[in-house]
Amino acid sequence: QVQLVESGGGSVQAGGSLRLSCASSGSIYDRYCMAWFRQAPGKEREGVAYITSGDTTNYADSVKGRFTISKDNAKNILYLQMNSLKPEDTAMYYCAGHPRGTRYCGFSQRDFTEWGQGTQVTVSS
């Protein structure tokens, strides 16, 4: 069973930056679709960004131009670089993945079979 562990969350001022990491228990990023989701208190969990095994990426409109998803297959680490952070970015951030093909790579939560425990990001004014 694949295990995912997020890290890198914390508290920052608006306009600041954070880089989240998601370490896998094995070499999976060369064949998995990987995504970052987030959930703020009182809100539904939403997709933030995803990356295919072939490194094609996509972003939610709310983070486009500010966030960058990437991965290091050799190190088994998925990243989310977050710049120009806003208070509305405050949420618990989760990484998730599945071994299905690129046809199923996206923001459909039910498609993802592997989930991390989450890391908290808090952005203050």
Q: What pLDDT, on the 0 to 100 scale, is given for residue 1?
A: 79
Q: Which of 46, 42, 48 is nearest to 22 (CA)?
A: 48
Q: What pLDDT, on the 0 to 100 scale, is given for residue 108?
A: 94
SS (H, E, C) the chain: CCCEEEECCEEEECCCCEEEEEEECCCCCCCCEEEEEEECCCCCCEEEEEECCCCCEEECCCCCCCEEEEEECCCCEEEEEECCCCHHHCEEEEEEEECCCHHHCCCCHHHCCEECCCEEEEEEC
Query: 67-106 in b/e burial notation, b at 16+ Cβ within 10 A?
Result: bbbebeeeebebbbebeebeeebbbbbbbbbbeeeeeebe
Q: pLDDT tens digit string along 24-46?
A: 998 999 899 999 999 999 999 99
Token digits for 74? 């050799």
Q: What pLDDT, on the 0 to 100 scale, is given for residue 102?
A: 87
CB 33 within 8 A of CB 54: no
Per-residue pLDDT of the chain (125 residues; tens, 9 = 90+): 799 999 999 999 999 999 999 999 989 998 999 999 999 999 999 999 999 999 999 999 999 999 999 999 999 999 999 999 999 999 999 999 999 988 999 999 999 999 999 999 999 99
